[in-house]
Amino acid sequence: MNKRLLYYLYKEGSYAVKISSLRNTDSLGRLREFLISEKFMLMLFAIACVITVFHLEIAGVFVFVFIISFLLVVCEDLLTTTLPFLLLSETLIKCYGSYHTFIKYIWLGAVPIAALIFHLVCYRRKLSLGKCFTPTLFVAVAVTLGGVGFLSLKEYFNLTAFYYVFGLGFGMLIIYVLLNTYLDTPRNYSLSEKLTDIMLYMGLFGVFMIAEFYITSIPAVIEARGILYMQWRNNVSTFLMLAMPFAALKSVKKPSYLFLTLIFFLSILLTGSRGGLLFGFIELMMAVSILISIDKRHRWIFVATGMGLALSVLVFFQDFYGFFGETFDRLVMGISGGEKEVRVRLFERAFENFYHNPIFGTGLAYMGNRDIHPSAEFALCWYHCEPLQIMGSLGLVGIIAFAVQIFSRLILFVRKRTIFNITILVSYLGIEMMSLVNPGVFCPLPYLFLVTMFMSVVEIANRTEHINTLSADISHSQRLEDEDEDDEDEDDED
């Protein structure tokens, strides 16, 4: 019976592919081009802004879920769903502790799941495992085995544990294979440039969220004469750090993007996130140093901008420190051990758990750390540090598996030296740095998903975009800049 059912589904899928090719009309083609265009991205950005301004996060879930589902059905190109997914994720970072609110709408998940199944069948392609399949498989096995011999069956098989164990393990392995397969579609645009645009809109929305928060809190800002507390500061800082290298490295083509980079970093400062302050600054210095070293044409523009900015901070240091000083003070206090904060106690607990369970750790389902940090419902007992999370939760097996995976990612990102690959590398290092003091990549959605997408996009871009050297890539980008300037001059003359 099962064989007959599988055969029937396979045949139906074959018919769906034939039908989709018949429907590949000019009108559908134009619609698909629009749905991956910057105009549509701007529309999505505007929708997200409206959701934030009017605090319509629940309605926003419905809107973006139906947009994503529509795109899955209409578009063969899976990349079209990326920006709405990221914007949806950003709108929800304000909804901390809203498990009981959103669990009522769990049925809504049936819509995108059905659309995804339709997409996989209708636009069926030959599976591509990808270069990082084996390391990702190792991690999936390690995550699944975490806590073996320590956790009870009841602890291991609860719903929260299943989401994280499957999401970080075999679920993400499946996602990696599907992304490798379904992102590799015929397209008339540059995959790397389009993902760059998507990441920039994601970053701009983070800036908008912070700006809207401060604008609506002007009396409190005047009273405090400093930054305001926002519960979602670490999350929005992480999104901005993911986006910042894309703005920075796009400065090779248009130096004006350096100012967008600085806006992203200033927005991180406004969040009051200590991790964002420290690691965002390191990431910014990495990106600018790379820019200065590889871009000879614009080198002195970058140097002059940096020197001007540094001089401005020195001249107005008292005002600068007066406004942002609290974050610096908290950072120094945390580093010096001046306060025995929750993170430090969690770090100590990770070593204790590793000592008592060195092979497989205590498992991701272990909730014994809630005496230190009572995590939100449907959340892990985080150690708030990726290496210690691996060590405490997954033991030696996890340490080896994750080390292999991280090494394989770095090799993938540096194997072919292009502006895009360097951008991805810096962005990836940014999320890894933030994961030293936050859950980070131990959140399946959206952070680990985005890192997994980075891997797939780099593999596909390396294979399909025929720029083989960094110097050739820089020359190509700056030639496009010259052509754009010539077009603008012609428009002015007309």
482 pLDDT above the threshold of 80:
no
Non-local (6+) Cβ contacts of 105 within 8 A are: 58, 61, 62
Average pLDDT over residues 74-89: 97
Nearest to 173 by CA among 145, 147, 135: 135
* pLDDT tens per residue across span 459-481: 999 999 887 788 888 888 878 76
**Confidence label for 184 from pLDDT (cuts 50, 70 and 90):** very high
8 pLDDT above the threshold of 90:
no
165 pLDDT above the threshold of 60:
yes
* pTM as predicted: 0.92
Retrieve residue 416's tokens: 């072919």
Q: Cα–Cα distance between 441 and 436 in angstroms, integer?
A: 10
Kindly state the DSSP code that residue 373 receives in the 8-state scheme. Answer: -
Q: Cα–Cα distance between 198 and 194 in angstroms, integer?
A: 6
Report CA 232 to chain centroid distance, whole Å. Answer: 15
Non-local (6+) Cβ contacts of 147 within 8 A are: 155, 156, 357, 360, 361, 362, 363, 364, 365, 366, 393
Most confident of 153-157, 168-172, 316-320: 168-172
Buried b (16+ CB within 10 A) or exposed e, 260-285: bbbbbbebbbbbbbbbbbbbbeebbe
Q: Give the per-residue pLDDT at 4.
A: 52
Q: Cα–Cα distance between 382 and 3 in angstroms, integer?
A: 43
Q: Give the per-residue pLDDT at 278.
A: 97
Q: Cα–Cα distance between 438 and 4 in angstroms, integer?
A: 48
Q: Give the per-residue pLDDT at 19.
A: 43
* pLDDT tens per residue across span 421-455: 999 999 999 999 999 999 999 999 999 999 999 99
Kindly state the DSSP code that residue 380 receives in the 8-state scheme. Answer: -
Non-local (6+) Cβ contacts of 128 within 8 A are: 177, 180, 181, 184
Helix (H, G, I), strand (E, B) or coil at 438: coil
Place of tokens 């894309």: 246
Q: Cα–Cα distance between 494 and 287 in angstroms, integer?
A: 39
Q: Which long-range contacts (CB under 8 A, 24 or more apart) does 408-414 make?
A: 408/131, 408/132, 408/134, 408/135, 409/132, 409/135, 409/451, 409/455, 412/131, 412/132, 412/455, 412/458, 412/459, 413/458
Q: Give the per-residue pLDDT at 460.
A: 96
